[in-house]
Amino acid sequence: MKSVSIIEIQKKVEILEKELNLKDLIIEAFPDPFFILNRKGEFLKANSKAMQLLGYSFSELQKMDLIDIIPIEELSSIKSFLEEAKGGKDVKLRTEILSPKGERISVECFGKFKEDYFFITIRDLRESIKTQEEWERIKKELQEKIRERDQYVRELQIMKDLFREKVNEIEKMREEAIRLSYTDDLTGIYNHRFFIQQLALEVERQKRYPAPLSLLMIDIDYFKHYNDTNGHLAGDQALKAISLLIQRGVRQTDIVARYGGEEFSAILINATKEKALEIAERIRRGIAETNFPNEASQPNGDLTVSIGVATFSPPISTLTDLIRKADHALYRAKKAGRNRVEG
């Protein structure tokens, strides 16, 4: 048998050392933490990135198995991971490892089993988890801001709706106040105040833009007798009914008001004296033909009205003249026997 010289042995040792150094260089060239386990799961090789992540020196790792750095609750997952790798699969597992101080480090393991060795690469997830947690925090804050904004928008809309509702209520109250200031409480038609204001406007308008304007003064015949005989409630009902009959007798453009007590007035816009007399007669007849409770006890056996008619024309030149002229005509109607029209 040929003997091997010491020189040849030294050369073979040098070659082997170079091969081992080359393997170490290759392992160090891995960009991620990388280590090699034997079939039993014992550490055989680890690059500096792996030792830095795990927190152990290589001499310490040589005395340990993979399960020594895995939390107890993760052991079954690691065992399954290794078994699947033995079956020839490229496996991946998200788990945790323990540092020497007991710190839990979230990692993702990529494993391959070949020629009785496990080749495992680890990716540190702490930064990505931190980034994800930060994103979740930011997202949660953003959602909270959006919720607060939406809540503010809803509350603002509620306030706007309430404000609009209050404005509408105030406007309705204002309109109602105006209406009440111009309306007779009992009959619901215009009152004396509104009658004077409107008649003044119509007189001034007639002066600027001449057009026929007439006035009716209407008085219920023997109303005091009807009131005393039948009571004030019956008298009030009669006043309401007669105000309605007067409104039905005039035109839509005319203005009916309660002048005071049992006396009413009607402003007939664009009505000549002939037209005013026609309307007055229609009102008188409508009231005379209406049956009122206990009207037979009246002095003339009926509840009727007398009407005075006046038309704005010379020598009438003022509101007072027009009212006085209509009043005089009403007086003549009463003096002539009531239940009649005079103009």
Residues 245 and 295 in one domain: yes
Q: Cα–Cα–Cα angle for 121, 122, 127, nearest 5°?
A: 150
Residues 156 and 96 in one domain: no
DSSP 271-299: --HHHHHHHHHHHHHHHHTS--TTGGGST
> How far is residue 34's CA from residue 49's CA, in Å, rounded to a whole number?
7
pLDDT at 12: 53
Instruction: Pick left, alpha or beta for residue 161 (phi over 0 → left; psi -120 to 50 → alpha; otherwise beta).
Output: alpha
> How far is residue 318's CA from residue 301's CA, in Å, rounded to a whole number?
39
> How far is residue 296's CA from residue 160's CA, in Å, rounded to a whole number?
62
Residues 254 and 117 in one domain: no
Instruction: Confirm whether 310 is domain-assigned.
Output: yes
Residues 265 and 147 in one domain: no
* Total number of domains in the chain: 3
Residues 162 and 197 in one domain: no
Instruction: Confirm whether 224 is domain-assigned.
Output: yes
Residue at a domain's end among 124, 146, 174: 124
Closest CA to 186 of 108, 297, 264, 130: 264
- Mean pLDDT, each 10-residue run in order, the chain (343 residues): 54 49 63 87 88 87 87 89 88 89 88 89 81 69 79 84 82 74 90 93 87 95 94 94 96 94 95 96 96 93 96 86 95 95 94
Instruction: Confirm whether 7 is domain-assigned.
Output: no
> How far is residue 115's CA from residue 235's CA, in Å, rounded to a whole number?
122
Check if the beta carbon of residue 295 is closer than 8 Å to that of residue 226. Answer: yes
**Tokens 């081992």 — which residue?**
20
Q: Three-state SS for 183?
A: strand
pLDDT at 173: 77
Residues 196 and 337 in one domain: yes
Q: Which domain holds residue 304?
A: 192-342
